[in-house]
Structure 1
Amino acid sequence: MEENKIWLSPPHLGGKELNYIQHAFDTNWISQYGSNIDEFEKTLENYLENNSFVTALSSGTAAIHLALRLLNIEEGDFVLCQSFTFVASANPVLYQKAIPVFVDSEPTTWNMCPNALEDAIKYCLKQGKKPKAIIPVSLYGMPFMVDEILEISRKYEIPIIEDSAEALGSKYKNKPCGSFGDLSIISFNGNKIITTSGGGVLISRNQKSKDKALYFATQAKENKDYYNHSEVGYNYRINNISAGIGRGQLEVLEERIVKRRENHQFYQYIFEKYDEINLFEEPDDNFFSNYWLNTVTIEKKDSRFTKEKLKQIFSENNIETRYLWKPMHLQPLFSECKFFGRNVCGTVFEKGLCLPSGTNLTEGDKDRIKEILINLRY
């Protein structure tokens, strides 16, 4: 009899979500209006602090797109993007017909390299165009090098769109991810630390920007007695039912962070015995990761220890793993784009694997994972 599948990062509902969903039905607000949306935004604003004005949307991708619109990014503009990320971080740049310029990672956080970023800025300036935005990512829940990237942003007066899609609950110097950018985004896709089934938020630093984001997200309808439109808008607003799921999920956010970090401790215990497998970890006490996904890099010292072999063995035992994000500068879609760095992210991609990290990972699941890894050694 085949054992139940262990998924990489499945949704984990706690039951409280149903109360808010029922409220949406009881009040007959099941569209893009309702108290669940308002309260979901308010709760996040209180959690993030630092002048955080939250607009709840249909996805994190929509949030990045609206951030680009708020910064008036247009055709031909340069946008500096982290290469090591999911494609949703960069696709909205193409929506605006702007030009993504990709920046390598540094090896400690796997996120945007400050040195490569400055090289990219200098290249753009030599072309006669100052970049319109920088999009650093907190990959797999690990905060980027916030101080260094913010310093460069201030030096060249280039705004930051902070992509914290995977990093709700992560912190840098005890300040929450999602609070560092001129504009910031978080995703609530089904595989994230908490979910709204599908959804995301755009975090602005003032009410005016939030109002403008909401305007764009609701088809750019003007405040008249009839439908009047002077600008392109989008159907990007979250619905009241999804926001209800989010309200219930926020109530267990701290529990979910604790559980993900416990999963990381489990992998720490296992991999301390392996010279060939390196667990990705916080570089120092300034960084606090939610460890959304636990990832490893594998040194190819013999045929037992390759990412392909490890993935195959897990798959044969009905356990999901996944390769790391393939960097954007290596994607066919972006093959013509400029890239700055030493291909650190490409090297990490070649050696890396994501391991099961869900908050509903049971002790029995961990025993199965542990047994596979122990057998691999012998």
Structure 2
Amino acid sequence: MLHPAVDRVLLSPPDVGPLEESYLIQALRSGWVAPTGPDVTAFEREVAKRTGRAHAVALSSGTAALHLGLLGLGAGPGTVVVVPTLTFVATANAVVYTGAEPVFVDAEPASGNIDTGLLDRTLRELRREGRRVAAVVPVDLFGSCADHPTIARVCAEAGVPALEDAAEALGASRDGRPAGSFGRAAVISFNGNKIITTSGGGMLVSDDAELIERSRYLSTQARQPVPHYQHHDVGYNYRLSNLLAALGRAQLRRLDTMIGRRRRIREAYAKLFASSPGVRLLADDDPGSNCWLTTIAVDPTVAGWRAADLAAHLDRAGVETRPIWKPMHLQPLFAGARSTLSGAAERLFADGLALPSGSATTEEHASHVLHTIELFLGRG
């Protein structure tokens, strides 16, 4: 059990300190408290540079970025949007916000990212049926980039744009390209448990200046540039505040250090489970992962135990874990939705477990988690 002086070990808590405090104080003293200001502009510029994009718009959440990105790509009533079934519900919810129909595609087992072969099959079927596909939204699951080169080829053959959901992947890369640089546009999240946080917030990035400016316009209630309040379109209250952008700028300066800490935690898990038959790390061969959450998949027929058994053992020791996302096609919300399935996502949901991976995890906490797992494995 945890020592009384040690708090519960959380999965991925915010990692903030003196630098963030100094940026927030400076923003407060500047008078730019809300709704926008120089830190918003600077944060957009800095995230655009980090993701290799020309333009960015800072928003209130990653979900807001998904919504506006899909609107910019033409999603709406009478269209469909293809998304992975193994994702957080926001990816699919944003599709519904536009009035489009989500179509789900299963995962490939090694990383949990979208199965590109099934994606190709789905797009061909939809095209034969005469369906209008507004976009594909590949997700960079748990900080590991999807197979974007193949996705780009498949989408180009189908004449469909991609909106990269890199909500979990800032700082990751694939083939030397940063997460957020793929597709017509991409989405970043700065939610409290993400690799960097603005408490709540997100960003839409793109090389398409018109798409970004249209999103910026819609994010401020679609107010026309006239002295009085005039509106020609339905808009949204989606802009990020200057104070939160200041927090994000400080976090961005520390991003590489925080990724390094998460990577060391992941390496410790990899070493621990290396001699455990039937246990593997998702995307364990991905050198470009930002290691946001280290997630294991357990084959209970080989390991002799289930992921839920380890989760219960860790919970009793004061350690938070989380199952892998419940697939969208299993959610009551999307019962009956069209899906192209292989069973991979359901197996990962049944046999997967995310372990504490935060950069704020202390050495004491990390040692406690590793020792508790060793006891579970019978090595204590």
Using structure 2 for the length normalisation, give the TM-score: 0.96
Q: Counterparts of 2:254 and 2:303 in 1: how far apart (Å)? A: 42
| Equivalent residue letter for 2:44 | E
1:222 is displaced (CA, Å) by 0.9
Instruction: Report the alpha carbon displacement of residue 180 of structure 1 after superposing the two structures with TM.
Output: 0.5
Question: Contact between 2:122 and 2:340, CA under 8 Å: does it hold in 1?
Answer: yes
Change (3 A) 1:377 1:72: closer
- For residue 18 of structure 1, the aligned residue among 18, 21, 25 is 21
Question: Which residue is equivalent to 2:11?
Answer: 8
* Structure 2 counterpart of 1:94, from 93, 96, 99: 96
Cα displacement (A) at 1:318: 0.6
Correspondence for 1:354? 354
User: Please, which of 34, 40, 43 is the counterpart of residue 40 of structure 1?
Assistant: 43
CA apart distance, 1:225: 2.0
Deviation of the 1:315 alpha carbon? 0.6
In the aligned structure 1, how far is the partner of 2:303 from the partner of 2:273? Answer: 18
* Counterpart in the other structure of 2:189: 187
Corresponding residue number in structure 2 for 1:164: 166
Query: What's 1:248 paired with?
Result: 250
Contact residue 14 and residue 252 of structure 1 kept, 8 A: no
Task: Within 5 Å, give how 1:1-378 maps onto structure 2.
Answer: 2=4, 3-49=6-52, 51-283=53-285, 287-301=287-301, 305-378=305-378
CA-to-aligned-CA distance 1:281-311 (integer Å, 9 cap, x gap): 3435xx5100100000112138962111111
C-alpha RMSD over aligned residues: 1.4
Return closer, same or farther for 1:240/1:290 CA change in 2, 3 Å cut-off: same
Do 2:222 and 2:236's aligned partners in 1 also have CA atoms closer than 8 Å?
Answer: yes
Give the deviation of 1:109 after TM superposition.
2.3
Paired AA for residue 129 in structure 1? R
Percent of matched pairs sharing the same residue: 36
Quick one: distance in 2 between partners of 1:19 and 1:362? 23
Could you tell me how far apart the structure 1 residues matched to 2:114 and 2:303 are? 32
The size of the alignment, in residue pairs, is 375
CA contact (8 A) 1:24 1:34 kept: no
Structure 1: give runs of 5+ residues left out of the alignment. Answer: none
Task: Report the residue type matching 2:108 in the other structure.
Answer: E
Judge conservation of contact 1:20–1:36 (CA < 8 Å) in 2: no
8 Å contact 1:52–1:179 — kept in the other structure?
A: no
Q: Secondary structure at the match of 1:359?
A: coil
Rounded Cα–Cα distance in structure 2 between residues aligned with 1:335 and 1:122? 23
Where does structure 2 lack aligned partners over 5 or more consecutive residues? none
Q: Does the 8 Å CA contact 1:60/1:200 hold for their aligned counterparts?
A: yes
- Any conservation in 2 of the 1:304–1:376 contact (CA below 8 Å)? no
> Aligned AA for 2:49?
N
Shift of 1:229: 0.6
The answer on whether the counterparts of 1:121 and 1:130 sit within 8 Å (CA) in structure 2 is no
- 1:31 aligned partner, one-letter code: A
2:14 maps to amino acid: P
Q: In structure 2, what is the Cα distance between the partners aligned to 1:23 and 1:360?
A: 24
Higher mean displacement: 69-78 or 133-142: 69-78
Shift in Å, 1:316: 0.4
Task: For residue 24 of structure 1, report the CA deviation from its aligned partner.
Answer: 2.1
Alpha-carbon displacement from aligned partner over 1:61-95 (angstroms, at most 9, x marks no partner)? 00000011111211121100111000011101111
Q: How many angstroms apart in 1 are the aligned matches of 2:24 and 2:209?
A: 28
CA distance, structure 2, for counterparts of residue 367 and residue 224 of structure 1: 59
Q: Which moved more, 1:19-28 or 1:75-84?
A: 19-28
- Write the distance in 1 (CA, Å) between the matches of 2:75 and 2:301: 47
AA of the residue aligned to 1:295: T
For 2:274, the aligned partner's letter is E
Aligned letter for 1:92?
A
Report the Cα offset of residue 126 of structure 1: 2.9
Measured in 2, the distance between the counterparts of 1:228 and 1:262 equals 53
In 2: Cα distance, 1:160 partner to 1:351 partner: 30
Q: Deviations over 1:203-240 (max 9, x none)?
A: 12132222111100000011112111111100000001
One-letter amino acid matched to 2:336: E
Q: How far 1:130 sits from its partner (Å)?
A: 2.8
Provide the rounded CA distance (Å) in 2 between the counterparts of 1:282 and 1:131. 33
Q: Secondary structure of 1:92's match?
A: helix
SS at match of 2:132: coil
* TM-score normalised by length of structure 1: 0.96
CA distance in 2, matches of 1:151, 1:13: 40
**Over 6 Å off, 4+ runs:** none
Q: Does structure 1 conserve the Cα–Cα contact (< 8 Å) formed by 2:112 and 2:282?
A: no
Work out the CA distance in 1 between the residues paired with 2:368 and 2:304. 19
